[in-house]
A and B are shown apart, each in its own frame.
Chain A
Amino acid sequence: EVQLVQSGAEVKKPGESLRISCQGSGNSFANYWISWVRQKPGEGLEWMGRIGLSDSYTNYSPSFQGHVTISADKSIHTAYLQWSSLKASDSGMYFCTKQVTIFGVVKSWFDPWGQGTLVTVSS
């Protein structure tokens, strides 16, 4: 069974940098596509972007392109979401999730999800 475990909650000041992580377990992790999804307090879900762990190829939502960087280290089955200069508006819960793979074929729906990382940006 695949599991995604995210790093712990973070409290940062505006202008600081941050990298949060999502580590996976299970077979054939190198074939995984990991997406990041933001949820602001009391709001819905927003797809931010994704990375293929085999080659670190990335795609970003236009809403997040240039504001965050998604990276990965396939040797440790881990994907990252990074900010170089945080803003208060970046506060929220961030989930990683994986595109389902069935018999080695990557599908487009998401399962499982990590437990979420709460990011609070406040002066």
Chain B
Amino acid sequence: EIVMTQSPATLSVSPGERATLSCRASQSVSSELAWYQQRPGQAPRLLIYGASTRATGIPPRFSGSGSGTDFTLTISSLQSEDFAIYYCQQYNIWWTFGQGTKLEIK
């Protein structure tokens, strides 16, 4: 099983600032990585697939990068609705998720 490790577990950032979230795979997943946002009490929402392609309707302040084992999700200017939990997911061999990064207001 491919293990996905996200860091940090919690990230405190002020509105309007940039947030950078990391995800590392235990083996190469090429670019077969997605990012999801989960707000409290809601289902996950697809943000990014193919490591860097924004899903339909996702604003350009969200960007993804990386390949192989190291990936990054960047939110360029945080809005109030962006404070949530973010999960990375590999789909190279079946599916596994990271444990999540909670993005909280500083």
Give the total of B residues in contact with A, Cβ under 8 Å.
21
C-beta contact mask, B81-94 vs A, less than 8 Å → 1, else 0?
Answer: 00000010101001
| Pair A109/B49 contact, Cβ less than 8 Å | yes
| Pair A109/B98 contact, Cβ less than 8 Å | no
B34 within 8 A of partner (CB): yes
The answer for the CA separation of A86 and B38 in the assembled complex, in Å, is: 27
| Pair A47/B99 contact, Cβ less than 8 Å | no
Q: How far is the CB of B68 from chain A (nearest CB, A)?
A: 17
Give the total of A residues in contact with B, Cβ under 8 Å.
23
B55 within 8 A of partner (CB): yes
| Pair B95/A95 contact, Cβ less than 8 Å | no
The answer for the CA separation of A47 and B33 in the assembled complex, in Å, is: 15
| Pair B34/A109 contact, Cβ less than 8 Å | yes
The answer for the CA separation of A59 and B93 in the assembled complex, in Å, is: 12
The answer for the CA separation of A21 and B89 in the assembled complex, in Å, is: 24
Count how many pairs of residues, one from A and one from B, have CB atoms less than 8 Å apart in the complex.
Answer: 54
Give chain A residues whose Cβ lies under 8 Å from the Cβ of B74: none
Give chain B residues whose Cβ lies under 8 Å from the Cβ of A59: 94
B44 within 8 A of partner (CB): yes
The answer for the CA separation of A110 and B95 in the assembled complex, in Å, is: 10
The answer for the CA separation of A110 and B36 in the assembled complex, in Å, is: 9
Query: A44-B97, A47-B94 known; 20 other A-B pairs, CB under 8 Å?
Result: A35-B95, A43-B99, A44-B99, A44-B100, A45-B87, A45-B100, A47-B95, A59-B94, A95-B43, A97-B43, A100-B46, A108-B32, A109-B34, A109-B49, A110-B46, A110-B89, A111-B45, A113-B44, A114-B43, A115-B43
Residues of A within 8 A of B (CB): 35, 37, 43-47, 59, 61-62, 95, 97, 100, 107-116
